[in-house]
Structure 1
Amino acid sequence: MAQTWTLENARWRMAVSARGAEMRLLTEKSAGREWLWTPDDKTWKSTAPLLFPVVGRLIHNGLWDDEKFYPLPAHGFLRHQTFSLLKHSPCTLSLISHATDETLNIWPFLFSVQVDYQLLDTGVRIVWRVTNQDRQPLCFSLGYHPGFALPVAQEHGWRVTFDDAMVTGPFYTRDRTLSLTQNAGTVREFTLTPDAFCHGAVYFAGCQGRRVNVISPEGRRVLQYRLTHQPWVALWGVPGADLLCIEPLSGTTDAPDASGQQREKRGMQWLAAGAVYQQQLDMVFPADGAR
């Protein structure tokens, strides 16, 4: 069983696993409330996986680098890797994972991914740092897939809203693939109807630097995301389950006609040799106490 580290302050208790640097618990102590989804075999087996070096389904079950094919699972492999400890204090944790002989067989790049957690009174700050340790440009995409235990199936009227300006979407997936329509609309909110996720995840574009809010049926803001560079946000859940995933992403699942070439996959980035790419996410619970 993977090692687990605990962070704690006056309001929160948090647990993070070495496997995938995955946050496993986020408990609000005074309320006795667990905010993260509890994994189960029937609905969803994860809590908050990190997606790297690809996001979403690969319709060819891998990617080509010109004529060489590299088999890859959906969402990549980093969520299954064991991270090493860099530092740990009562309210902070830094973990790191490097390329291995095993990963080089399916993704031919030298890299490291560092994940920094900071427990605040308002919630959690997470920073991801991808470093290219190779002599060639590093091709990758990065995403985060936390699931929250919210009564979205029991109660009608839950919404997700976007501060500041409209975002482009919604874009609905089919068979875990995503087609982008040329005349897409723009929205500031999305209502979580019982059939919202009947075909899978729902994507929104143009989310860099935005604040994303979860609003209860009573109009109370119970959770806010504060994003940095992530251009995409995907929402996902299982019909009939009290589960809501809010995913800040640098890329998306494959298009149904994707070529399978790594350089053509939507959202893939190229990081120069020795360069560092950083993303940050603040989770604020609740962002206000008013309706």
Structure 2
Amino acid sequence: MAVIIENEQIRAVINEHGAELSSLIAKKTGIDYIWSGDSKYWGRHSPVLFPIEGKLKDDHYFFAGKEYHMTQHGFARDQDFTVIEQDSSHAIFELTQNAATLEKYPFDFRLRLTYTIVNSELTLGYSVYDPADQDLYFAIGAHPAFKAPLMPNEEYSDYELEFSPAKTRHKIPLADSLTDPKKQYPVDENHLSVSRELFKDDALIYNLNREETIITLADKAKTHGISLNTKDAKFVGIWSSYPANGQFVCIEPWWGLADPQDSDGELTHKYAINKLAPKTEFQAGFSVSVF
């Protein structure tokens, strides 16, 4: 089942399965900015990544002396959420632990995703609450895929990515879906031309140090596109299918990171993990403006 929120400028469609945004349409032009989810290239639209972001080394981890198995990006994207609040311009989706999640992740939790639209901007807020009497260890992230090109007379290579503010950031290497934060290095990659070869080595990962960053994906004339505000995200990943010719670019704010290649597998040691004290709440989020 899908939930629709809208105003005079935009309409957003969110599926209860995964609380996943599947459509974001500008009413004036009819442009849908979200990737179709064609499984030939990548069969999702904008999944939430929880309670891990990226891949675990050997797809497992240890907590309190026990071994647990979990595949890339965690389980929330494949769970049915409950709509706990909705009006014309916002909706809140909730997921809590169940028998299936406890097999992979031995924690009680409450995860809420809040979608809100104002003017031509969609904001997605994350809330993670620890209802238990033990610390909660988790990561969370976004994986929205934006169409490129947006118009039928355009090509994929007609699009560009622009980072603001323009500055030196550290880039984190990724190999075989695992990271190497110890080898991150400074780059001035504030303007990138979109091409298939840009993603030949998998995602581009930048350490944002929680500094608010606006990333714009648009045609070269900037007549249409999106601007994503990462707010206080720790990292951002930029990804598309390679060599498959998927007509999308993912801009992914992350509050966590895939395991380092030298990970010891202990969840409490996991690089960039978030630790939430009992009966406390973590909040984060990002926003997307369309033009």
TM-score (norm 2): 0.91
Corresponding residue of 1:273: 278
Corresponding residue of 1:289: none
Corresponding residue of 2:204: 202
Q: Is the 8 A contact 1:112 1:132 kept in 2?
A: yes
Structure 2: runs of 5 or more not aligned: none
Deviation string, structure 1 residues 17-57 (Cα, Å, up to 9, x no partner): 11111111111122121110001221001000000000101
CA-based RMSD: 2.0
1:182–1:61 Cα change, 3 Å? closer
Q: Is the 8 A contact 1:18 1:83 kept in 2?
A: yes
Deviation at 1:168, TM superposition (A): 2.3
The letter of the residue matching 1:248 is P
- Could you tell me how far apart the structure 2 residues matched to 1:154 and 1:177 are? 31
Deviation at 1:193, TM superposition (A): 3.3
Structure 1: runs of 5 or more not aligned: 287-291
1:273–1:260 Cα change, 3 Å? same
Corresponding residue of 1:49: 47
- Could you tell me how far apart the structure 2 residues matched to 1:215 and 1:84 are? 34
The more displaced of 96-105 and 254-263 is: 254-263
Higher share in helix: 2
- Could you tell me how far apart the structure 1 residues matched to 2:124 and 2:190 are? 25
Deviation at 1:196, TM superposition (A): 1.0
Are residue 142 (structure 1) and residue 132 (structure 2) matched? no
Q: Say which SS state the counterpart of residue 246 (structure 1) adopts.
A: strand
Q: Is the 8 A contact 1:167 1:205 kept in 2?
A: no
Deviation string, structure 1 residues 242-270 (Cα, Å, up to 9, x no partner): 11000000112222232221122222111
Q: Say which SS state the counterpart of residue 161 (structure 2) adopts.
A: strand
From 233, 237, 260, the equivalent of 2:236 is 233
Q: Is the 8 A contact 1:175 1:199 kept in 2?
A: no
1:21–1:155 Cα change, 3 Å? closer
Deviation at 1:86, TM superposition (A): 1.1
- Spell out the pairing of 1:166-181 with structure 2 (5 A cutoff): 166-180=167-181
The letter of the residue matching 1:204 is Y
Deviation at 1:76, TM superposition (A): 0.4
Are residue 187 (structure 1) and residue 185 (structure 2) matched? no
Corresponding residue of 1:5: 3
Deviation string, structure 1 residues 259-286 (Cα, Å, up to 9, x no partner): 2211222221110001100002111113
The letter of the residue matching 1:30 is K
- Could you tell me how far apart the structure 2 residues matched to 1:170 and 1:216 are? 25
Q: Say which SS state the counterpart of residue 32 (structure 1) adopts.
A: coil
- Spell out the pairing of 1:82-101 with structure 2 (5 A cutoff): 82-101=80-99
TM-score (norm 1): 0.91
The letter of the residue matching 2:178 is T
Percent of residue pairs bearing the same amino acid type: 21
- Could you tell me how far apart the structure 1 residues matched to 2:54 and 2:44 are? 15
Q: Say which SS state the counterpart of residue 157 (structure 2) adopts.
A: coil
Corresponding residue of 1:118: 116
Corresponding residue of 2:102: 104
- Could you tell me how far apart the structure 2 residues matched to 1:181 and 1:63 are? 21
Deviation at 1:142, TM superposition (A): 0.5
Deviation string, structure 1 residues 93-136 (Cα, Å, up to 9, x no partner): 01111111221121111110111111122220111100001100
- Could you tell me how far apart the structure 2 residues matched to 1:183 and 1:76 are? 25
- Could you tell me how far apart the structure 2 residues matched to 1:97 and 1:218 are? 41
1:262–1:190 Cα change, 3 Å? farther
Are residue 72 (structure 1) and residue 70 (structure 2) matched? yes
Q: Say which SS state the counterpart of residue 100 (structure 2) adopts.
A: helix
- Could you tell me how far apart the structure 2 residues matched to 1:104 and 1:184 are? 38
Q: Is the 8 A contact 1:5 1:16 kept in 2?
A: yes
1:167–1:221 Cα change, 3 Å? farther
Q: Say which SS state the counterpart of residue 79 (structure 1) adopts.
A: helix
Deviation at 1:172, TM superposition (A): 4.0
1:41–1:222 Cα change, 3 Å? closer
1:183–1:284 Cα change, 3 Å? closer
Deviation at 1:184, TM superposition (A): 0.6
- Could you tell me how far apart the structure 1 residues matched to 2:88 and 2:258 are? 37
Q: Is the 8 A contact 1:167 1:206 kept in 2?
A: no
- Could you tell me how far apart the structure 1 residues matched to 2:199 and 2:104 are? 31
